[in-house]
């Protein structure tokens, strides 16, 4: 069965909108695990727009499944990862101005630096995954860097507007998964996956884990909203004179 990594960054996004204590992504991780999540994923961005250092430190102590830290291959963040020791690191490209991770990591262009990080993580018992586009050159470079996993960026598939484009992107991912397996890489995927488009992705060959964030947190807002309003309304009813 394909396993589920729940990305809880957007719980922190709501908290950071007020710079307050709620909603706490640490609570979110516990609820996700109780509901069956196989992995908790957080992205510690250089600009700290959502997840904070404190979150990752506490999550390291509380997460009982697997803690996957998404991060740029940048020394200050590497130092944090080596200190906190998540179970897995997923190296992603990162630009400060982007809304989310907009493309895969260019492993081929940064092979030496990435290979060095993969080795440092391995020495510290941390598995490395590389977030890449389903591109043969990137897969080959990822295997040469010694990464255990690659995570295919499914954004192009998720954003395809027509049935034909969707089928084409799915075929690219299918062929890429086969190539990755031949190269000895284990295969994860994520980005832009939702309750509809995930179905075909579950059927990709060799797929092990999907990392899904935005659509789960979005759905949680609506599945929880009526209860939240009811609770507030109950207080007003009870307390009004």
Tell me if 211 contacts ligand PXP by CB under 6 A.
yes
Between vectors from CA 30 to CA 28 and to CA 32, what angle results, nearest 5°?
70
Choose the stretch contacting ligand PXP; rule: CB under 6 A; options: 78-86, 167-175, 187-195, 233-241.
187-195
Tell me if 43 contacts ligand PXP by CB under 6 A.
yes
Tell me if 198 contacts ligand PXP by CB under 6 A.
no
Catalytic hit among 94, 151, 153, 191? 191
Distance CA 4, CA 216 (A): 11
Choose the stretch contacting ligand PXP; rule: CB under 6 A; options: 19-27, 81-89, 135-143, 208-216.
208-216
Listed in sequence order, the DSSP H helices in 90-188 are 111-123, 136-144, 155-159, 163-182
Nearer Cβ to ligand PXP, position 170 or 192? 192
Tell me if 192 contacts ligand PXP by CB under 6 A.
yes
Would strands 3-7 and 207-212 be described as parallel, antiparallel, or unpaired? parallel
Check the annotation: does 50 bind a ligand.
yes
Task: Please give the backbone phi and psi of residue 123, each rounded to the nearest 5 degrees, phi first.
Answer: -55, -25
State how far the alpha carbon of 42 is from the alpha carbons of 121, 172, 231, 239, in Å: 17, 27, 30, 40
Tell me if 70 contacts ligand PXP by CB under 6 A.
yes
Count the neighbouring beta carbons within 10 Å of the beta carbon of residue 140.
17
Count the residues of the shown chain that bind ligand PXP, applying the rule CB under 6 A.
Answer: 19
Distance CA 9, CA 232 (A): 26
Q: Is 43 a catalytic residue?
A: yes
Catalytic hit among 33, 70, 169, 209? 70
Task: Please give the backbone phi and psi of residue 158, each rounded to the nearest 5 degrees, phi first.
Answer: -65, -35
Tell me if 147 contacts ligand PXP by CB under 6 A.
no
Choose the stretch contacting ligand PXP; rule: CB under 6 A; options: 17-25, 160-168, 185-193, 201-209.
185-193
Listed in sequence order, the DSSP H helices in the chain are 9-18, 25-34, 53-62, 75-84, 111-123, 136-144, 155-159, 163-182, 198-202, 214-239
Answer whether 147's CB lies under 8 Å from 128's CB.
yes
Check the annotation: does 153 bind a ligand.
no
Check the annotation: does 120 bind a ligand.
no
Task: Choose which of 4, 6, 7, 65 interacts with ligand PXP (CB under 6 A).
Answer: 7
Tell me if 193 contacts ligand PXP by CB under 6 A.
yes
Nearer Cβ to ligand PXP, position 11 or 193? 193
Q: Nearest Cα to 202, choosing from 11, 38, 3?
A: 3
Tell me if 33 contacts ligand PXP by CB under 6 A.
no
The site for ligand PXP (CB under 6 A) is made up of 7, 9, 43, 70, 90, 92, 100-101, 131, 151, 190-193, 211-215
Residue list for the binding site: 7, 9-10, 18, 45, 50, 100, 192, 213-214
Q: Which residues carry out catalysis?
A: 43, 70, 191
């Amino acid at each position: 069965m394909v396993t589920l990594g729940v990305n809880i960054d957007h719980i922190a996004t709501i908290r950071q909108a007020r710079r307050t204590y709620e909603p706490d992504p640490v609570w979110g991780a516990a609820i996700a695990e109780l509901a069956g999540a196989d992995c908790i994923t957080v992205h510690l961005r250089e600009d700290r727009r959502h997840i904070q250092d404190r979150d990752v430190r506490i999550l390291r102590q509380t997460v009982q499944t697997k803690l996957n830290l998404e991060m740029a291959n940048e020394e200050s963040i590497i130092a944090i990862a080596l200190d906190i020791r998540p179970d897995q690191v997923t190296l992603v490209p990162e630009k400060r101005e982007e809304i989310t991770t907009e493309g895969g990591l260019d492993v081929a262009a940064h092979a030496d630096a990435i290979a060095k990080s993969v080795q440092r993580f391995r020495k510290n018992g941390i598995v490395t995954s590389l977030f890449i586009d389903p591109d043969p050159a990137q897969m080959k470079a990822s295997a040469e860097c010694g990464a255990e996993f690659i995570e295919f960026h499914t954004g192009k598939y998720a954003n395809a507007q027509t049935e034909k484009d969707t089928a084409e992107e799915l075929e690219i991912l299918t062929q890429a998964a086969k190539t990755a397996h031949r190269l000895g890489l284990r295969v994860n995927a994520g980005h832009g996956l939702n309750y509809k488009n995930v179905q075909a992705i579950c059927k990709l060959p060799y797929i092990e884990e999907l990392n899904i964030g935005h659509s789960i947190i979005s759905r949680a807002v609506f599945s929880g909203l009526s209860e939240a309003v009811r609770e507030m309304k109950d207080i007003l009813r009870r307390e009004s004179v």
